Amino acid sequence: MATVEGRPESSARINPKRRVLTGMRTTGELHLGHYVGALKEWERIQDEGNFECYFLLADVQALTTHAENPSLLTKLVREVVLDWLSVGLDPDLSNVNFVLQSQVPERYELSQSFLMIAKYGEVMRNPTLKEELERQPNATMGFMTYPVDQAADVYMISPTPPIDGDELLVPVGEDQVPHLEFARVLARRFNKKYGPVFVECSALVGEIGRLVGTDGKAKMSKSIGNAISLSDSEEVVNKKVKGMFTDPNHVSPTTPGDTENNPVFIYLRAFDQDTQEVADLTERYNTGAGLGDVAVKTVLAKRLNEFLDPIRQRRVRYERANIRDILVAGTERARESAIPVVQAVREKMHTVYPA
């Protein structure tokens, strides 16, 4: 049997592995949309403890659009780690790793290998890419290949060689689903052409998935200015809630109003634990039973602050934590998983020293 650095080519694996990899670009502080669309789900998976979790700080992917001012990135990596810690992601748990994307050399190599089997046409058909290209026609090559590069993020921690019962789950917002469909195609193609190396990943889209902004128009986003950040103070939250868009036809407390598409109610449904309270407010608003926008916003601001308080407290505690050590440890674990994957790919693609 061929050996690489003295190891058998495919040491028999007996125990299936269940792994989760997901990530965020480190482009800014996180907000409530990140929480309902991603972090809430990540935390649930972490706490259930059935999966080895790799949470990726995608600083390389951040450069696909933020290469102009890279010195900002160091600060942003730290901010995102603090946001993660504040919501309760916990790298002290034995199943949880925070991984800094740029510090995994094996990942770049895997990305390059995937570029060789990804077809230009299929990348160009990617709907998210197309949409973003319209917004920024001067996209870099790094940007154009990011769906391929993202497949390398996912598969660098693939159990290998795959055996029955292995799982590779990727919890993401729905905007990421086309990328993961493509990542599945790439793994299937590679395995078929060269022999089994990768476990095909599966996307896992959370219950809510997406949160409208305070303006009610678009997805919550810091750059649009319609976001409530996880690190916002009570005063800032109160002010932002006061300015929220509601139902424009609800001109007085006695006019029946819409709650379905009304961002104030969308947030109440997402963050108010007291379902009876939400039901009562909804009923009164729908029927024009005297519930004004100011009153319902006061309730929402209170509930949001109750939700954010423990997050704020944890943030204060973690300000003193050694972020670097957390990242070094998690990144090391990711590399331990990535090394056998890259070795297998080299063997299959014959990028090895000739005998």
Q: How big is the chain by its Cα radius of gyration, in Å?
A: 23
Q: Which residues of 287-326 are buried (b: 16+ CB within 10 A; e: fewer)?
A: eeeebbbeebbebbbebbbebbeebeeebeebeeeebeeb
Q: Which residue has the tokens 């029946």?
A: 256
Quote the tokens at residue 59.
């600083």
Minimal distance in Å, beta carbon 300 to ligand TRP?
27
According to CB under 6 A, which residues from 160 to 189 bind ligand TRP? 170, 172, 176
Tell which one of 17, 19, 25, 240 touches ligand TRP (CB under 6 A). 25
158 binds ligand TRP (CB under 6 A): no
Minimal distance in Å, beta carbon 180 to ligand TRP?
7
**56 in Cβ contact with 101 (< 8 Å):** yes
CB atoms within 10 A of CB 258: 14
Q: Which residue has the tokens 């089997």?
A: 117
Quote the tokens at residue 129.
């890419």
Nearer to ligand TRP, 21 or 45 (CB): 21
Minimal distance in Å, beta carbon 330 to ligand TRP?
15
58 binds ligand TRP (CB under 6 A): yes
SS3 19: strand
Nearer to ligand TRP, 210 or 312 (CB): 210
Cα–Cα distances in Å, from 254 out to 286, 287, 290?
10, 8, 5
Minimal distance in Å, beta carbon 195 to ligand TRP?
24
Minimal distance in Å, beta carbon 246 to ligand TRP?
29
Minimal distance in Å, beta carbon 308 to ligand TRP?
22
Q: Which part of the chain contacts ligand TRP (CB under 6 A), choosing from 21-29, 131-139, 256-264, 313-321?
A: 21-29
**148 in Cβ contact with 114 (< 8 Å):** yes
Nearer to ligand TRP, 115 or 295 (CB): 115
Nearer to ligand TRP, 54 or 271 (CB): 54
Q: Which part of the chain contacts ligand TRP (CB under 6 A), choosing from 53-61, 104-112, 222-230, 239-247?
A: 53-61
Nearer to ligand TRP, 56 or 300 (CB): 56
Per-residue binding string, ligand TRP, 78-97, x by CB under 6 A, is: --------------------
The Cα–Cα gap between 317 and 125 comes to 46
The Cα–Cα gap between 177 and 64 comes to 19
Q: Which residues contact 334 (CB under 8 A, 6 or more apart)?
A: 54, 56, 97, 99, 104, 156, 157
37 binds ligand TRP (CB under 6 A): no
Nearer to ligand TRP, 111 or 238 (CB): 111
56 binds ligand TRP (CB under 6 A): yes
214 binds ligand TRP (CB under 6 A): no
DSSP structural state of residue 174: G
The Cα–Cα gap between 235 and 53 comes to 35
The Cα–Cα gap between 298 and 292 comes to 10
By CB under 6 A, the count of residues binding ligand TRP is: 14
Q: Which part of the chain contacts ligand TRP (CB under 6 A), choosing from 55-63, 225-233, 255-263, 282-290?
A: 55-63
Q: Which residue has the tokens 């204060």?
A: 316
Q: Which helix (H) or strand (E) holds 71?
A: helix 71-87
Amino acid at 276: Q
Per-residue binding string, ligand TRP, 128-157, x by CB under 6 A, is: ----------------------x--xx---
Nearer to ligand TRP, 204 or 339 (CB): 204
Minimal distance in Å, beta carbon 154 to ligand TRP?
5
List of residues contacting ligand TRP (CB under 6 A): 21-25, 56, 58, 61, 150, 153-154, 170, 172, 176
